Chain A
Amino acid sequence: MASFVPKSAETLEEERLYTTARMVEVQCLDCLAKVTAKKNSDHHTSIQWSAEARAACPELCRRTPTGGRDTHQACPRMTASIDAAVRSGEIPVGAEDGY
């Protein structure tokens, strides 16, 4: 059952642009977690986890189950892995028309 229904087909394409376009796969340097990430600028980061990646991350698994305040912090190892991928040029830095 759909809830908020867009009236225009173009809206679905917008959703795709903002949520998945330009996301680059990043393998954690310390564990088996694999996420997708995007950098619109040096200070911007977008990270999409999957259930498999979440389960593979010992740092996030060590924390209390979803809902505890300590899950509100990023995994420092994944942050470092994304920084490394930026330095090596695997993740391009820069936005495209706002996405």
Chain B
Amino acid sequence: MWLFCDGNQARLSGCSLSDYPQNCNVFYMSDTRMLDQGTTPIRFARGWHCLGLASTYSDGKPHSIEGFGTKLVIWQDSKGELNVLDGFCRHMGGDLTQGEVKGDNIACPFHDWRWGGDGKCKEIPYARRVPLRARTQRYETAIVNGQLLIWNDPEGSAADHSILPPELPEVMTDKYTDWSWHTKQINGSHCRELIDNVADMAHFYYVHFAFPTSFRNIFEGHTATQFMESTGRPDKTEGGYSDANSTLKSEATYYGPSYMINWLTVDYKGFITEVILINCHIPTGPDTFTLQYGIAVQKPEGLDEKTVNYIAERYTESFGDGFLQDVHIWENKVAVQNPLLCEEDGPVYQLRRWYEQFYTDVADIKPEMTDRFEFEVDTTKANEYWHAEVADNLAKRAAEEPVSH
């Protein structure tokens, strides 16, 4: 039974609509279900986060990227190592991203304090000695599949290299196209909205215009996987999944809170293409994040370079469009802590239980957050209904088309 305040009693008790329903003292019994929007966490997830292609940062200049409620400075030192520090100098708060790389260090534009990749101040050119406490926030780094990853942990633990995403064999060789890499700022949504997609079967029909014919999830340890087989809707032409001539087999795994590898096998009229899609993000604030995605396509044998690049461009474009379809939903929806599910929905509650581990102190992680969980959605009824709807849409369209003479 859900409680809420009706308008009449609200007026009697002097309760205005703006503070309804949390602060309303007069309740009225009803079966109306309320949305529990919950409270979003103040902390940022523990785990590896990808900052993009390592090559972006390898020119010896300081680079700036928003992340974890601050600005980060990234630079390459003389040994070729990439270093990541909090972007603001611990002296007087100068913006290190606008500084200069001097030797192996990043120098602040304000007073030339020199910071090393280990987070220690190495030199203050005008000072007799460097204060012992001159240590700033550093982020441990790893390069995986040509991408720069950094470890974030509000508890300050050492980076756990055993849970890095796997290296992808053959990617970054001439068997695959180079990463096509893109960035998109998302405002007004916590990044959990993006994670929710892992368990969301039906949105593939409504948002991405595909029939998901098979849909399974496995959550275990630090990984969460979605398996999906789909074909495009013939009544729609826009977006990543909607081509009626192609069948998609997709296996997508989150390695930690923010880095997903999506192995896609696309069967376009019998022509098979292997595509790898990286979908990752960096939280920037309580309800903002930066989405990054990269695509590499296995070069089909017997095709010339130009055709291969054309195919890769088309995939990049269509999966990019797919993200934009999601973004429009996220930017206009509200957060919901108590989603109401039907039988055809995926395991949203279990997925969120898994995701919670990254926002919990390590000592407080509960077994059910990491225990293996498997779920298969029954897509039979949904597809029966959807196929009828699409047939109807096509019939309407045919009837509207002018008869040619």
Seen from chain A, the residues whose Cβ lies within 8 Å of a Cβ on chain B are 1-8, 10-11, 14-15, 18-19, 40-51, 54, 60, 66-69, 71-72, 74, 95, 98-99
B378 cross-chain contacts in A, Cβ below 8 A: 40-44
Known pairs A3-B356, A7-B22, A98-B345 / 6 extra A-B pairs, C-beta < 8 Å: A7-B38, A11-B338, A18-B341, A49-B371, A67-B221, A69-B263
Number of interface residues of B (CB under 8 A): 54
Query: Which of A6, A43, A51 makes the CB contact (< 8 A) with B338?
Result: A6
Contacts A67-B255, A72-B225: A44 and B376 contacting too (C-beta < 8 A)?
yes
User: What's the least CB distance linking B156 to chain A, in Å?
Assistant: 14
Query: Which of A5, A47, A74, A98 makes the CB contact (< 8 A) with B342?
Result: A98
* Complex CA–CA separation, A15 to B349 (angstroms): 6
- CB-contacts of B71-94 with A (<8 A): none
User: What's the least CB distance linking B293 to chain A, in Å?
Assistant: 20
Seen from chain B, the residues whose Cβ lies within 8 Å of a Cβ on chain A are 2, 22, 34, 36-41, 43, 163, 166, 192, 218, 220-223, 225, 227, 251, 253, 255, 263, 337-338, 340-343, 345, 347-350, 352-353, 356, 359-361, 364, 367-368, 371-380
B166 cross-chain contacts in A, Cβ below 8 A: 67-68
Contacts A4-B39, A5-B38: A41 and B343 contacting too (C-beta < 8 A)?
yes
Q: Which of A43, A67, A99 is the most central at the interface, judged by chain B CB atoms within 10 Å of its CB?
A: A67
Name the prevailing secondary structure of the A interface residues: loop
User: What's the least CB distance linking B151 to chain A, in Å?
Assistant: 16
User: What's the least CB distance linking B291 to chain A, in Å?
Assistant: 20
User: What's the least CB distance linking B371 to chain A, in Å?
Assistant: 6
* Complex CA–CA separation, A39 to B38 (angstroms): 30
Contacts A45-B374, A45-B376: A5 and B39 contacting too (C-beta < 8 A)?
yes
Contacts A44-B376, A49-B373: A98 and B340 contacting too (C-beta < 8 A)?
yes
B347 and A46 form a contact (CB under 8 A): yes
* Complex CA–CA separation, A15 to B341 (angstroms): 11
* Complex CA–CA separation, A3 to B380 (angstroms): 36
B38 cross-chain contacts in A, Cβ below 8 A: 4-7, 11
A95 cross-chain contacts in B, Cβ below 8 A: 343
* Complex CA–CA separation, A67 to B47 (angstroms): 14
A67 cross-chain contacts in B, Cβ below 8 A: 163, 166, 221-223, 255
Can you spell out 20 A-B residue pairs with CB atoms less than 8 angstroms apart? Answer: A1-B364, A3-B359, A7-B22, A7-B36, A7-B37, A7-B337, A8-B36, A8-B337, A11-B36, A18-B341, A18-B350, A41-B380, A43-B380, A49-B373, A54-B371, A67-B166, A71-B220, A74-B374, A98-B342, A98-B343
Q: Please give me the residue from chain B that is nearest to A64 by CB atom.
A: B166
B337 and A54 form a contact (CB under 8 A): no
B343 and A4 form a contact (CB under 8 A): no
User: What's the least CB distance linking A35 to chain B, in Å?
Assistant: 9
User: What's the least CB distance linking A66 to chain B, in Å?
Assistant: 4
A48 cross-chain contacts in B, Cβ below 8 A: 368, 371, 373
User: What's the least CB distance linking B299 to chain A, in Å?
Assistant: 22
A6 and B373 form a contact (CB under 8 A): no
Query: Which of A1, A14, A99 makes the CB contact (< 8 A) with B43?
Result: A1
B2 and A10 form a contact (CB under 8 A): yes
Q: Please give me the residue from chain B that is nearest to A45 by CB atom.
A: B376
* Complex CA–CA separation, A6 to B352 (angstroms): 12
Query: Which of A7, A46, A49, A99 makes the CB contact (< 8 A) with B341?
Result: A99
A54 cross-chain contacts in B, Cβ below 8 A: 371-372
A47 and B374 form a contact (CB under 8 A): yes
* Complex CA–CA separation, A8 to B41 (angstroms): 16
* Complex CA–CA separation, A13 to B349 (angstroms): 12
B360 cross-chain contacts in A, Cβ below 8 A: 1-3
B371 and A47 form a contact (CB under 8 A): no
B41 and A3 form a contact (CB under 8 A): yes
Q: Please give me the residue from chain A that is nearest to B381 by CB atom.
A: A41
B338 and A10 form a contact (CB under 8 A): yes
User: What's the least CB distance linking A73 to chain B, in Å?
Assistant: 8
User: What's the least CB distance linking B83 to chain A, in Å?
Assistant: 27
User: What's the least CB distance linking A90 to chain B, in Å?
Assistant: 18
A51 and B218 form a contact (CB under 8 A): no
Q: Please give me the residue from chain B that is nearest to A15 by CB atom.
A: B349
A4 and B41 form a contact (CB under 8 A): yes
B227 cross-chain contacts in A, Cβ below 8 A: 72
Query: Which of B163, B350, B371 makes the CB contact (< 8 A) with A50?
Result: B371
User: What's the least CB distance linking A84 to chain B, in Å?
Assistant: 17
B377 cross-chain contacts in A, Cβ below 8 A: 44
A46 and B349 form a contact (CB under 8 A): no
Q: Please give me the residue from chain A that is nearest to B353 by CB atom.
A: A19
* Complex CA–CA separation, A4 to B343 (angstroms): 25
